[in-house]
Chain A
């Protein structure tokens, strides 16, 4: 297993490093920006610039985004961050489709290696990558606060940051499970990965549109992003445990279906 993990990580090292740098740097930048807005006392103008549909849809919580605390926390649920985490998770869990397409599965599974081990390897790598990304994001916020002398400002508490990152990790795990399921049915990596990534984008849009469009609210229940209620976490009234349980539960169902399918299919 260690060999398989190391090989996959080595193959994806540039993507991993790139994603980590991006997510870490993003937190630095957003803390710097929040500090700048705070220093120039421009949060009032930020509130004025907020689209009306967001204000209507999110209610008073929308105003959290126009605070130093909310802006820094936004770095943990910005669309770019959410999609990078989801896509990174699926990049790893769709690897079995790449192994089938390239024929590498012939070499690996002509040896006494259980089929399930390839999936377990991908799940582990995906989880480790997302967890590392989350940890680096947390570290990015701390470094940003130090670099921009924002320590005395109203940073989100450690508990809020931890809950946001835990929820983001759960979103990544859910998408990881979904990617694994797609890969277990595919012969082509590009098909599997593109399908999974596009699904993530569509589901993000569905959840976003549901803020201001009532008809979308039913469909939004299907989106993992629906179970990442960041503003409620910042406000301190979110059922984080329930949302995380739903996300892990869905991811586990996807993963179980993937194991079942991969164990029976032609490779």
Chain B
């Protein structure tokens, strides 16, 4: 960091709904130009966080800043920097897609480049005919594409997307990934997206934050998570092998058959490889890192909290 303000920053951001925690003491930084994936089970606090950032909710305490601008104190200036896609896209059913975009673009008079808009239409395969149809007659996927376009059309420096690929077909998911990749390559736009599709987050995001019961439980780059993750290593022997000398730190022997061991390994593999020296190893298979495997335990642990059973801590 060079002293430039973070694209998104929250300091002890807290929102209570009566006795229920929306989010509590949430502190995170998203650097400018970064693609940040915000993960969590249903009700974990993702949408609450996002709605605090766009000042639709008022925090119980703490603060949120977008490019150094306070989202509550200087709400209008902060919102001028944001493109936002809500989780459930609201529509005016009587408007055509084109009129809907014109209406939204003129609300705050942010300029929209027609060339950029055309590129978005092309990328998301929104034809002239689609643009002329009323939104009530459009499919869910088409509405979602229009929603993504309205968030991106003014080329805001910060884009906040709540489950952007929900309802998109695989081709359009790919189009969305390409768009995010393009934004990342250009480096001018910060993307903050919440999603349940872990493979998507793994592919697109530079960093992720995992929220559970309103609190961030882990955050880091995918590489950080890989280093931190437990990987399964399956070792096959050409002849029966005696149990090895003590396994290195981070290794847990799950099953030790005559010809095959299964080891859960956390940390670098080097020490394990050294420990296997001298044994009749025929094959070593290291299961590739999967974000799903890493995240799943957090989701499971968070199920109760996410059902609103988490009470406010006494502060």
> Which chain B positions have C-beta within 8 A of A112?
76-77, 79-80, 108, 110
Check A113–B107 contact: CB distance below 8 A.
Answer: yes
> Which chain A positions have C-beta within 8 A of B90?
102-104, 106-107
Q: Give the secondary structure class of A's interface.
A: helix
Q: Give the docked Cα–Cα distance between A266 and B58 (Å).
A: 6
| Residue from B58, B77, B79, B86 within 8 A of A111 (CB atoms) | B79
Q: Give the docked Cα–Cα distance between A112 and B82 (Å).
A: 9
A window 1-38: CB within 8 A of B: 3-4, 7, 10-11
Q: How far is the CB of A149 from chain B (nearest CB, A)?
A: 43
Q: How far is the CB of A120 from chain B (nearest CB, A)?
A: 14
> Which chain A positions have C-beta within 8 A of B108?
111-113
Q: Give the docked Cα–Cα distance between A113 and B84 (Å).
A: 14
A window 76-120: CB within 8 A of B: 102-114
Q: Give the docked Cα–Cα distance between A266 and B77 (Å).
A: 19
Check A110–B84 contact: CB distance below 8 A.
Answer: yes
Check B107–A11 contact: CB distance below 8 A.
Answer: no
A45 contacts the other chain (CB 8 A): no
| Residue from A107, A114, A265, A266 within 8 A of B86 (CB atoms) | A107
Interface size class of B (residues with CB under 8 A): 20 to 34
Q: How far is the CB of A113 from chain B (nearest CB, A)?
A: 5
Check A10–B94 contact: CB distance below 8 A.
Answer: yes
Q: How many residues does chain A have at the interface if contact means C-beta atoms less than 8 Å apart? A: 22
Check A110–B80 contact: CB distance below 8 A.
Answer: no
Check A104–B84 contact: CB distance below 8 A.
Answer: no
A window 105-162: CB within 8 A of B: 105-114
B window 19-76: CB within 8 A of A: 51, 54-58, 76
Closest Cβ neighbor of A109 among chain B residues: B56
Most buried by B among A103, A104, A113, A265: A103
Given A3-B103, A110-B82: A264 touches B56 (CB 8 Å cut-off): no
> Which chain A positions have C-beta within 8 A of B89?
103
A267 contacts the other chain (CB 8 A): yes
Check A111–B94 contact: CB distance below 8 A.
Answer: no
Check A267–B56 contact: CB distance below 8 A.
Answer: yes
Check A108–B56 contact: CB distance below 8 A.
Answer: no
Check A11–B94 contact: CB distance below 8 A.
Answer: yes
Q: How far is the CB of A2 from chain B (nearest CB, A)?
A: 9
| Residue from A111, A265, A266 within 8 A of B110 (CB atoms) | A111
B223 contacts the other chain (CB 8 A): no
Check A103–B94 contact: CB distance below 8 A.
Answer: no
B283 contacts the other chain (CB 8 A): no
Q: Give the secondary structure class of B's interface.
A: loop
> Which chain A positions have C-beta within 8 A of B88?
103
Check B82–A7 contact: CB distance below 8 A.
Answer: no
Check B84–A106 contact: CB distance below 8 A.
Answer: yes
Given A11-B92, A106-B90: A111 touches B56 (CB 8 Å cut-off): no
| Residue from A11, A104, A107, A113 within 8 A of B150 (CB atoms) | A107
As a 0/1 sequence over residues 87 to 103 of chain B, the CB contacts with chain A under 8 angstroms (1 = contact) are 01110101000000001
B window 210-254: CB within 8 A of A: none
Given A106-B84, A112-B76: A267 touches B57 (CB 8 Å cut-off): yes
Q: Give the docked Cα–Cα distance between A104 and B225 (Å).
A: 38
Q: Give the docked Cα–Cα distance between A4 and B104 (Å).
A: 10
Closest Cβ neighbor of B77 among chain A residues: A112
Q: Give the docked Cα–Cα distance between A7 and B55 (Å).
A: 23
Q: How far is the CB of B12 from chain A (nearest CB, A)?
A: 18
Q: Give the docked Cα–Cα distance between A106 and B106 (Å).
A: 16
Q: How far is the CB of A150 from chain B (nearest CB, A)?
A: 42
> Which chain A positions have C-beta within 8 A of B79?
109-113
Check A105–B56 contact: CB distance below 8 A.
Answer: yes
Check B55–A109 contact: CB distance below 8 A.
Answer: yes
Q: Give the docked Cα–Cα distance between A70 and B106 (Å).
A: 50
Q: How far is the CB of B56 from chain A (nearest CB, A)?
A: 5
Q: How far is the CB of A262 from chain B (nearest CB, A)?
A: 12
Q: Give the docked Cα–Cα distance between A264 and B60 (Å).
A: 12
Closest Cβ neighbor of A117 among chain B residues: B107
As a 0/1 sequence over residues 47 to 89 of chain A, the CB contacts with chain B under 8 angstroms (1 = contact) are 0000000000000000000000000000000000000000000
> Which chain B positions have C-beta within 8 A of A265?
58
> Which chain A positions have C-beta within 8 A of B84?
106-107, 110
B window 131-153: CB within 8 A of A: 150
Q: Give the docked Cα–Cα distance between A218 and B249 (Å).
A: 84
Closest Cβ neighbor of B81 among chain A residues: A112
Check A106–B86 contact: CB distance below 8 A.
Answer: yes
* Given A3-B103, A104-B92, A111-B79, 9 extra CB contacts under 8 A: A10-B94, A11-B92, A103-B89, A111-B108, A111-B110, A112-B80, A112-B110, A114-B76, A266-B57
Complex A-B: 13 CB contacts under 8 Å: A3-B106, A4-B107, A7-B103, A11-B92, A11-B94, A102-B90, A103-B88, A106-B51, A109-B79, A111-B107, A111-B108, A113-B108, A114-B76
Identify the B interface with A (CB < 8 A): 51, 54-58, 76-77, 79-80, 82, 84, 86, 88-90, 92, 94, 103-104, 106-108, 110, 150
The 4 closest A-B pairs by CB, nearest first: A103-B90, A110-B84, A111-B108, A112-B108
